[in-house]
Structure 1
Amino acid sequence: MPMTHSRAQIKVNGGLLETLPGPKLKLGGNKRSPVVGNRGLIGYSEATEPAELDCEIALTPGTSLAQLRDITDATLTYEADTGQTYVVRNAFVTEAIEVSAGDGGKVALKFSGDPAQEMGV
């Protein structure tokens, strides 16, 4: 029976984030929309969507929220425990950082960047 994806390691510019369970990666890439004419479907149009990565990390001694907030032009790496690795270039933090006390001191991080590239396929 094959293993299924349950854990991921997230790196920013090669440095490992201490992520809590449940990070989400939206690969981005071509979004296709139908084009409808007077007599029905004509075809489709394409637009590029950015990649998005949502994760939570634990707030520990030495964690700089200011450094996290100021991340721009970064290289993100999403390494799945099933062997897939995705790289998002030109990434940046998209939203103000939110911190929640308890349960590991959760810090919510949201990133966006160029569409993700699958490595080593």
Structure 2
Amino acid sequence: MAKKLGKAIIKVDGKVLETLPGAKLDIGGDERTTVVGANSVQGYFETPKPSKTECEVTVGKATRLAEMRGWDNVTVSFECDTGQQYVVQGAWLTNTPEMTASEGGRVPLVLEGPPAEEMI
């Protein structure tokens, strides 16, 4: 059987984040919305959609939430253990970092930006 995605490495400006399992990437791009008329489907229209990278990081001595909060115009890399790599240039953090004092100090992060590019 062929290998399937199990792990991803997330980087922000080249720095590897200490993520927990379950990172997500929506590559963004044009999203299509169906146009339904009174008696037929008439087609669709497109609207731009940002890319979205979601992950949770753990908290250690070097973790700086204020630095994360300031992420703007950063490069995000999503590297799959199956070989694919996606890059978002000019991304920003959309949420404020909030840590939970258990299980390694979970901090959910959501980064959005222009559509992701697949590096081939």
TM-score by length of structure 2 reads: 0.95
- Give distance in 2, aligned partners of 1:86 and 1:45: 26
The equivalent of 1:68 in structure 2 is 68
Which consecutive aligned stretches of 4+ in structure 1 deviate over 2 angstroms post-superposition?
Answer: 36-39
Q: Between the two proteins, what is the percent identity of the paired residues?
A: 43
Q: Which runs of 5 or more structure 2 residues have no equivalent in the other structure? A: none
Secondary structure, aligned partner of 2:67: helix
Gaps of 5+ in 1: none
Stretch moving more, 37-46 or 17-26 = 37-46
2:57 corresponding residue in structure 1: 57
Counterpart residue number, 2:108: 108
Q: Which residue identity lines up with residue 48 of structure 1 in the other structure?
A: P
Partners in 1 of 2:43 and 2:94 — Cα distance?
33
CA distance in 2, matches of 1:38, 1:103: 53
The aligned residue for residue 37 of structure 1 is 37
2:24 aligned with 1:21: no
AA matched with 1:95 = N
What value does the CA root-mean-square deviation take over the aligned residues? 1.0
**Inter-partner Cα distance in structure 2 for 1:12 and 1:37:** 45
Partners in 1 of 2:81 and 2:29 — Cα distance? 23
The separation in 2 between residues aligned to 1:42 and 1:102, in whole angstroms, is: 52
* Equivalent position SS for 2:118: strand
- Which letter does structure 1 place at the counterpart of 2:55? C
Letter in 2 for 1:115: P
1:78 maps to 2:78: yes
Number of equivalences: 120
